[in-house]
Structure 1
Amino acid sequence: MKQPAKERIIDAANRLFYAEGIRAVSVDAVAEKAGITKKTLYYHFRSKDNLIEAYLTARDQPNLVLYEKWFDEADGTVADKIEAIFLQLAQSARHPKWKGCGFLRTAAELANKPGHPAMKVGAAHKKKLETLLADKIRQAGIVDAAALARHVVLLLDGAFSTVLIHRDPEYIEAAGSAAKSLVLAANSSQV
């Protein structure tokens, strides 16, 4: 059974925007990749901005589910599990098609448009990740879980950015080690 046109458009946008960047990809290219006409694309999305928003919205839950899976499947303490997220990301970063965080890359391309709908989707995604980590840290009995989760997200996003510059996944591993140390320090200060 053929995938509905709207889903094909979002899939095509996901592949193209992630691989090449949102400014480098035209609506024509997305329509062609989806196997539809430009008119059909505009039937489902009023503008390229709406398509960019849909692209990030489609990435939101799968990314969050993956982070949670990596955390839950890791052995050890909450500190080990936080580090495992970074180690899994470092492994992903070794793949030749890995281009970093689609949310951060889109935000960089839209830096002069803070009210863009995709910026709001990106901010909400990052906040959901922070909340997810805070919940996991809180469940481990660490008191200031929200602040600690924010520190972990800062390390994570910093690692994403640094790897895009240096193309060396060891930076993600180093950030993971730092995140683990922060969680261990927070846990030991409560004892």
Structure 2
Amino acid sequence: MDRGASNTRQRIVAAAYQLFYKTGFMRTSIDAIAIAVGITKRTLYQHFDSKAALVDAVLADQHSLMLARIQEWAQPGTNGPAEMLKNLFAAFELWVTQCHWRGSGFTRAAIEFADSPGHPARLAARRHKAAVEAWLADALADHGIADARQLAREVVL
């Protein structure tokens, strides 16, 4: 994929994320995304063969960003697991109160596609939750927490 195509693809993903988050995955049309990016619907479909593929790409992009953000917020090299969890919750609180937060995009995707268990959005939400849980469990285990997996599951819930 050349640089221009890659840039167009990223612009599509960014615009789709904004629209999906604002109006919902199901209510956002491909036409609205194409208009927001300033491209034709045909061009959009050259990059993504379906809306489901675009939703999957948006959630994959958000997964990478959110996992990195969570890891940064937790500051796992701190003085113990209590401080790490305190840092994580303090950062979440700041984020949800200052960023016009409308809920987790992953949770919203899982809810919107609740009747479609195999939909890429549901699968992406499940993968994201599992990855966050696994990372947190490993970070807690590094601090010597005996039942780190269970604690991580409870925190992520």
What's the TM-score, normalizing by structure 1? Answer: 0.75
Q: Deviations over 1:47-69 (max 9, x none)?
A: 11111111101101110000000
Structure 1: which 4+ aligned runs deviate by more than 6 Å?
Answer: none
Partner of 1:77: 80
Q: Aligned-residue CA RMSD in angstroms?
A: 1.7
Distance 2:51 2:91 in 1: 32
**Alignment CA distance shift 1:4-1:75 (3 Å):** same
Q: Deviations over 1:86-118 (max 9, x none)?
A: 221111111252112100011110000010012
Instruction: Indicate which of 103, 106, 117 corresponds to 1:114.
Output: 117
SS of alignment partner, residue 112 of structure 1: coil
Equivalent residue letter for 1:58 = D
**Alignment CA distance shift 1:53-1:97 (3 Å):** same
Partner of 1:12: 15
Cα contact 1:9–1:31 (8 A) shared by 2: yes
Structure 1 unmatched runs, 5+: 155-191
CA-CA distance at 1:75 after TM superposition: 5.1
CA-CA distance at 1:16 after TM superposition: 0.9
Equivalent residue letter for 1:123 = R
Distance 1:61 1:149 in 2: 19
Cα contact 2:75–2:87 (8 A) shared by 1: no
What's the TM-score, normalizing by structure 2? Answer: 0.91
The answer to whether residue 3 in structure 2 is matched with residue 24 in structure 1 is no
Structure showing greater relative contact order (alpha-carbon pairs closer than 8 Å, 6 or more residues apart): 1
Question: How many residues matched?
Answer: 154
Instruction: Indicate which of 62, 66, 72 corresponds to 2:65.
Output: 62
Distance 2:42 2:95 in 1: 36
Moved more, 69-78 or 9-18: 69-78
Partner of 1:161: none
| 1:34-183 matched pairs, under 5 angstroms | 34-72=37-75, 76-95=79-98, 97-154=100-157
